[in-house]
Amino acid sequence: MAERTKIWIADSLRKLLSRKSIDKIRVTEICKEAEIERPTFYYHFKDKYDLMAWIFCQQTMKTDVLSVESAAKAMNGMRQDYIFFKRAFEDNSQSPMWAYMHAYFVKRYTDIVMEQTGAALDAQTRFSIRLYCYGTIGMTQEWLIHDNITPAETVVGMMFHSMPESLKELFFGN
């Protein structure tokens, strides 16, 4: 039941995002659109940015970040949910989505390295992961908003090709 309520609330936010940016949307509007009371919203999410982060996680948590096919499928999903991601990338408020995405992917890649090596990351590896995540998120944003031609598979291939050699060695043993 709780999962269905979250999905219902998320769908209501998506409807509102089709008409205006996230900074112009209030929680009361989301509640009205979802036909719920404010306490129900706050039972599931701490604020509208938490809701946006939940939507993002729902779309990305099944993605194998070390697979070109899986990452391209996720990017094609972003293109299908264009309005949500366009609005998310445009937002520069207190909790911009790109910052959340960066933290999310840094953690995913860090966890993979720690799982594979069984050791804490050195400063250079942490830096390389953060740099790679900044670059891939920035290029994803640019691709989604400004590039209607290049296939997702090509973009992801270029991202993997641009990965620092030290990370390629850790992830793929190259």
Structural domain spans, the chain: 2-172
CB contact set of 137 (below 8 Å; sequence gap of 6+): 98, 101, 102, 105
Name all contacts of 160-169 with Cβ < 8 Å and 24+ positions apart: 160/68, 162/132, 162/135, 163/132, 164/128, 164/131, 164/132, 166/124, 166/125, 166/128, 167/109, 167/125, 167/128, 167/129, 167/132
pTM of the entire predicted model: 0.84
3-state secondary structure of 137: helix
**Count of C-beta atoms within a 10 Å radius of residue 153:** 15
pLDDT for residue 74: 93
Q: Which residues of the chain have pLDDT under 50?
A: none
pLDDT for residue 15: 94
User: Two tokens at 31?
Assistant: 């509640």
pLDDT for residue 1: 67
pLDDT for residue 7: 95
Query: What is the fold of 2-172?
Result: Tetracycline Repressor; domain 2 (1.10.357)
